[in-house]
Structure 1
Amino acid sequence: MEVQGRAFLQPVGTESAELVMQLQDLLADNADVQEFLTELSRMASEQLSLPDNPISCGVTVLRRKKPLTVASSDERSRTLDEVQNSYGDGPCLTALRDGAIISVAEVENETRWPDYMRAAESCDVQSILSVPMDVRNSGKAVLNLYSPRVRGFSEDSILAAQDVAEEAARALHLALKIAQLNELKDNLSAALESRTTIATAVGIIMAENRCSRETAFQILVDASSHRNTKMHTLAEGVIGRVAGDHDKAPDFDE
């Protein structure tokens, strides 16, 4: 493999420390994972580009077998990532699946993924590098890099891309964990809201029927079963009726 010199980010020293600080700031400023990934791809593109070799960057995340989440530094990387996903295979998806670095030194002469290589050529891409990111148990992720130059990724630049991917993976792992915690908090809030609504409806049924809490709750359970309606929806109807909200579900016969 041709060695072009240390053209990219140095993996140690001041530039590496600055990268870590930038990622920390990035995470602090972007609580939303999609926004974080977009800014991460832009930052990686800046870190790994040269005046004569501008690198486009995309980040692809597969989380809990959900659809791929893609963020891009520019239109070129966004188009290529979307085309690859539509084909269902390519260097990025292979790296994501196998957990190995995939390098395409010359798009024109690459025999793997011929349809996708033609699409890459049409976007003025001559070489591709896909670097897996270790986000541990948070999912799978890969850094997708596109160069307009043949053999645009030297041995040294591949090592530099690995350094960027390694540092970015730590921040991405934390971002995904934060997203999971936010989802858990939202689910708990929804559960508490539902529980409060049901408890209020049970209190109304107790007052109206002069019955115990257990009997009132059973009335709500039976109505939910007979009407094939969620208890929370029925409870909202009971509260809405008492509050005079005619848009809520109608009352039911106890």
Structure 2
Amino acid sequence: MTTDERTQTMPATEAFERLGSMSLSAESLESVLQAVADLTKQVLPGDVEASVSVLVADKPATFVHTGQLALDLDESQYGRGHGPCLQAAASGELVEVADARTESRWADYMRRAVELGSLSSLSVPLGSSEVLAAGLNIYARQPGAFDDDAVRRTAARFARFAGAAAANMHAYQHAREMADNLQVALQSRATIDQAKGILVERHRITPDQAFHLLARASMAANRKLRDVAEHLVATGELLASPQRR
């Protein structure tokens, strides 16, 4: 089968149903984006390869890819510091190359793309560059592979799904971190309250005075208040307790 004879192997509706059925709580961000790239390759007509480029602290990296061609083309742009995938990720705008042989932008990269066998490409941002500087890159071996508006719309839908998944995954992970931090804080509070209770009973003082004793011991021992409280609860000893005159 030649490149021109190759057609899409999966209907777009089936691909999006598969993506929609993925559970973000059971998947990693990498697995979700890899699924987007793989399904993009299967759905879009023509002989294409796909990747997802991400800018982290202004440093680009290919997060996932479907084949060596996509990885080589991404890294060729990274080495030069410019190209369609970097432009899309940084600007948040769709970037299309209709024919690499006649494209006037990024001339040195275009020569390399032709050498590697990619004659057209489409780089679609995953969302706002302020939220996530990333793009879905689709490389075709024939020119004009993305002339059809339906193809561009399908590619944009994949990118929107990837962007939404990345944003939701980030929100989910942030919520988990907040929950974990809250749990730690609650456990620390319980330990500190227990330590205060020991001091109140031992010295017949108020809870506020007990807290100040713990705080002074924390400063004197150069240890966290929680650590001082845990030590008192576990051993009955107050670390670096100031000597009374």
Under TM normalisation by the shorter chain, which class is it? 0.7 to 0.9
Q: Is the aligned partner of 1:96 residue 2:92?
A: no
Identity %: 24
Kept in 2: contact 1:24–1:171 (CA 8 A): no
Equivalent position of 2:71 in the other structure = 78
Kept in 1: contact 2:11–2:43 (CA 8 A): no
1:26-52 deviation line (CA, Å, top 9, x unaligned): 4558532122111211111111243xx
- Measured after TM superposition, the shift of residue 167 of structure 1 is 4.7
- Measured after TM superposition, the shift of residue 105 of structure 1 is 2.9
Matched residue pairs, number?
A: 233
Question: What letter matches 1:216 in structure 2?
Answer: A
Alignment of 1:228-247 (within 5 A): 231=224, 234-236=225-227, 238-240=229-231, 242-243=233-234
Which structure 2 residue ranges, 5 or more long, are not aligned? Answer: none
Cα 1:79–1:154, aligned 2, differ >3 Å: closer, same or farther?
closer
Candidates 5, 14, 22, aligned match of 2:18: 22
Cα 1:222–1:136, aligned 2, differ >3 Å: closer, same or farther?
same
Equivalent position of 1:252 in the other structure = 240
Candidates 129, 145, 151, aligned match of 1:153: 145
Kept in 1: contact 2:51–2:66 (CA 8 A): yes
Kept in 2: contact 1:41–1:58 (CA 8 A): yes
TM-score by length of 2: 0.73
Cα 1:122–1:204, aligned 2, differ >3 Å: closer, same or farther?
farther
Candidates 34, 38, 45, aligned match of 1:42: 38
Pairwise CA RMSD of aligned residues?
Answer: 3.8
Kept in 2: contact 1:92–1:144 (CA 8 A): yes
Candidates 178, 181, 191, aligned match of 1:187: 178
Please give the alpha-carbon distance, in whole angstroms, between the structure 1 residues aligned to 2:25 and 2:35. 10
Kept in 2: contact 1:30–1:36 (CA 8 A): no
Which structure 1 residue ranges, 5 or more long, are not aligned? Answer: 245-249
Ranked by relative contact order (alpha carbons within 8 Å, sequence separation 6 or more), the top structure is: 1
TM-score by length of 1: 0.71
Please give the alpha-carbon distance, in whole angstroms, between the structure 2 residues aligned to 1:222 and 1:240. 15
Q: Which has the larger radius of gyration?
A: 2
- Measured after TM superposition, the shift of residue 160 of structure 1 is 1.1
Please give the alpha-carbon distance, in whole angstroms, between the structure 2 residues aligned to 1:66 and 1:38. 22
Question: What letter matches 1:190 in structure 2?
Answer: N
